[in-house]
């Protein structure tokens, strides 16, 4: 079965650079969530989208922005990167309108900021 796809899997950036993370949800899933997981920590909710509209916002810095496109893929844009942004970034998808409340996670993007 098709799963959530994330790219790139690994990303190394310098401080103050920008990064773009991409997420392709499971086919027919219209809701996308982004989570940030620091070393030894639980995943922290950043932002979510439903039908291309932002549906909720969590602890996402103003330096970050995201959107969901017409094909339901989503991109997380991160600017003015800081050392503390180094983490695993997970995207998850679900389809609540079809009763699929479960969130299925992608493999994650490991971002390292030097």
Partner 1 sequence: GENVEQHPSTLSVQEGDSAVIKCTYSDSASNYFPWYKQELGKRPQLIIDIRSNVGEKKDQRIAVTLNKTAKHFSLHITETQPEDSAVYFCAGTMFSGGYNKLIFGAGTRLAVHP
C-alpha span between 39 and 71 (Å, rounded) = 32
Q: Classify residue 94 by burial, with Cβ atoms within 10 Å: 0-12, 13-18, 19+.
A: buried
User: What kind and span of H or E run contains 51?
Assistant: none
C-alpha span between 43 and 34 (Å, rounded) = 9
For partner 1, which stretch binds (CB under 8 A), given 13-21, 45-53, 62-70, 71-79? 45-53
For residues 3 and 102, the answer to whether their CB atoms sit within 8 Å is no
Does 45 interact with partner 1 (rule: CB under 8 A)? Answer: yes
C-alpha span between 75 and 98 (Å, rounded) = 23
For partner 1, which stretch binds (CB under 8 A), given 11-19, 63-71, 79-87, 89-97? 89-97
Shortest distance (Å) from residue 4 CB to partner 1? 8
For partner 1, which stretch binds (CB under 8 A), given 21-29, 30-38, 64-72, 73-81? 30-38
**Is the Cβ of residue 50 or residue 72 nearer to partner 1 in the bound state?**
50
Residues engaged in binding partner 1 (CB under 8 A): 31, 33, 35, 41-45, 48, 50, 55-56, 58, 88, 90, 92, 94, 96, 101-108, 110
């Amino acid at each position: 079965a098709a799963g959530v796809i994330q790219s790139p899997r690994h990303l190394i950036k310098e401080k103050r650079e920008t990064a773009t993370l991409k997420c392709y949800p499971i086919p027919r899933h219209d809701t996308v969530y982004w989570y940030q997981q620091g070393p030894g920590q639980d995943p922290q909710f950043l932002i979510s989208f439903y039908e291309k509209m932002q549906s909720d916002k969590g602890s996402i810095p103003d330096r970050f922005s995201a959107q969901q496109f017409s094909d339901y893929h989503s991109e997380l844009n991160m600017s003015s990167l800081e050392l503390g942004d180094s983490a695993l970034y997970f995207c998850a998808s679900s389809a609540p309108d079809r009763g699929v409340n479960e969130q299925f996670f992608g493999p994650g993007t490991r971002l390292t900021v030097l």
